Each structure stands twice: as C-alpha cells, then as structure tokens.
Amino acid sequence: MATTPKTSSHVTVFAADWCPFCKKLRERLDRTQTPYDLIDVEADGMDEVNEWIKSVNDGNRIVPTVLYSDGEHATNPEASAVRAKLRELTGQE
C-alpha cells in the first residue's frame, strides 16, 4: 500500500483543476468557510500522492479524494459529510 500523505490540516482535499466534482466540493466548502488544505494532483512531484489516491480507490485515480487528520479518507464526498467529519475531529457539535 502506498504511503499516506503527510498533512497539517484536519481536512485535505486532493483535486485537479479539470475535475467538475472537485470544483463543486471546493465551492460548497468555501461557501460555508470550511477550512481545508488543497493539493493539486496534477502538479509536479505528485507521483506518491497519486499512488496513494489509487491505493485507496481500487486502483483508480479518483478526485476529489479527501484525507482527514485521523487517517480516514473519503472519495468524492458531499460537503456536508466533510463538515460533519471536521466537527467530529475538532470536538465541535
């Protein structure tokens, strides 16, 4: 299994500019001012990140893939699910 990327945020979104699902998730998180780090999977040096994405998506490089600070991940989640997970991670109700 590929190495899980290191993150410093509770929510890290792995996305690509060409992806309409990524754009939709980012817009919905931004609208509610939900904090997240954004990683462009198309940038140079993303080979290990893309291998991790494929390892958690049955060999497919699916974006958006979201990594949470507890090590869990989600593929193409709804913004509401990301916000709920963030509340869980930060102890907010």
What is the arithmetic mean of pLDDT over 71-77? 96
Q: List the domains of the chain with CATH numbers.
A: 16-90 (3.40.30.10)
How far apart CA 49 and CA 4 sit, in angstroms, is: 8
Distances (CA, A) of 4 to 16, 36, 42: 19, 17, 18
Which helix (H) or strand (E) element contains residue 39? strand 37-40
What does the pLDDT look like over 13-64, one tens digit per residue? 999 999 999 999 999 999 999 999 999 999 999 999 999 999 999 999 999 9
